[in-house]
Amino acid sequence: MRLPALTLVALVSLAACGKAEKAEAPKGVDAAAAAPSGLVLGGDNLPRFKPGLWEVVQTEDGKVETTRHCTGAEVDAEVREMLTRETPGCKTERSASPSGLRVKALCEQAGGLKTDATVEMTGSETAYDMKIGLYLINADGSRDGGDITAKAKWIGACPPGAKPGEDVE
């Protein structure tokens, strides 16, 4: 799925922090076929979204930006790879179920700095809410950063000629 730039930065931050531990689906829940009101999870316990045109409303520091993106399997694969890539120096925790996905990563950086990134997502294959926290922890323990929220919904098929990964006006 094509994500707004800041959302993509959050996912890349998590990707740079190491491989997430695979969470077990709750008893009696097939991770590949969640209830329609919940996230649809693939065998890797990451959400799957309906291909097509998505509208994303992102809020950061009181500023709202609305974008539209054409999505497909290629874009979903990029996000899955980012969330499961291994990187030394990071501790990543992930829990996933049809009721939501939570990924938290704490990474050691040069000069005594750390990055702290959290993504929480709820929704379904045609709509989701996401909260992203991105923080830099300084050597003295002080924190800089903030939260971003995104609400996305599937609108329909991509316009003729639009390819997965492209922004749509």
pLDDT tens-digit readout, 110-146: 888 999 999 899 999 999 999 999 999 998 999 999 9
pTM of the complete model beyond 0.85: no
The SS3 of residue 158 is coil
In a domain, 100, yes or no: yes
The SS3 of residue 87 is coil
In a domain, 168, yes or no: no
Report the distance separating Cα 108 and Cα 112, nearest Å: 7
The 3-state DSSP composition of the chain as helix, strand, coil percent (nearest 5) reads 15, 45, 40
In this prediction, the residues of the chain whose per-residue pLDDT falls under 50 are: 1-36
State residue 73's pLDDT score: 76
What single letter denotes the amino acid at residue 74?
E
What single letter denotes the amino acid at residue 154?
W
In a domain, 164, yes or no: no
Note down the domain range covering 22. 5-156
Domain count, the chain: 1
In a domain, 161, yes or no: no
In a domain, 132, yes or no: yes
* Strand partners of residue 147: 133
